[in-house]
Amino acid sequence: MTMTSPINRRSMLIGTALLGVGGVAMARQPKPASARVGREALDRLIPTRIGDWTYRDSSGLVLPPPDALSDSLYSGLVTRNYTAPDRLPIMLLVAYSNVQDGMLQVHRPEVCYPAGGYRLSPTVVEEVPNGMGGNIPANTFSADGVSRTEQVLYWTRIGGFFPTSWFDQRVAVLRANLDGLIPDGVLVRVSTLAPDMASARADLTTFAAQMVRTSPPVARRLLVGAA
């Protein structure tokens, strides 16, 4: 008859307990909430005709820093210029990532514009139409460069939240993690060349709302979530 020693029995119990804890940890580990959307797929989702505006080209936009994280940070990136008769030309940037965690988060424009030599006015938080009958919080600022002044309106969506600062962005990621999810995220930036925000605001907000309204349902979810 084989006897199990107290030491071996204790080791087995400890090992079983550790396996159980590991299983619970794996079960509670946050999982991506959304599937990856590639650059070509995102490009097809954004309309080339938005209200009075028509896609012209993709040059001249201020871009996020080309650092080592860029390829892993954005699964989809759209940059376009739109023009319209009797309206200001609009520059559009949509940067999407299906994974937003503590290490990978979308850049905010207040970072990339100074890197390009622009001086920024204080950022102002405004409620702007989301194209679906409601409003979302967005940020606006003026960027003064050597040869041009750009008026910028943008929002970030992290999961179901619209953070207006780095701190709020990190809180949005944490709240999703506590629900067992790694949220997706998008930066939507519309801008134009104008001397001040007062002269640009109407065209910027109109373009943004019409972009959401005329986009297919999949693109709407990426741009403004369940709104």
Quick: pLDDT tens for 165-216: 999 988 988 888 888 888 888 999 999 999 999 999 999 999 999 999 999 9
Average pLDDT over residues 106-119: 89
Report which of residues 75 and 37 the model is more confident about. 75
- Taking CA atoms, 103 is separated from 65, 67, 73, 106, in Å, by 16, 14, 9, 10
Report which of residues 69 and 48 the model is more confident about. 48
Q: Band of the pLDDT at 52, cuts 50, 70, 90?
A: very high
pLDDT at residue 100, rounded to an integer: 60
CA distance 184 to 106: 10
**DSSP code string of 75-117:** SEEEEEEEE-TTS--EEEEEEEES---SS--PPPHHHHHHHTT
Report which of residues 171 and 11 the model is more confident about. 171
- Tell me the pLDDT of the chain averaged across its residues: 82
Beta bridge partners of 127: 137
Average pLDDT over residues 138-144: 97
Q: pLDDT > 70: what percent of the chain?
A: 75
pLDDT at residue 104, rounded to an integer: 54
- Name the token pair of 29: 């580990």
On the question of pLDDT at 5 being above 70, the answer is: no
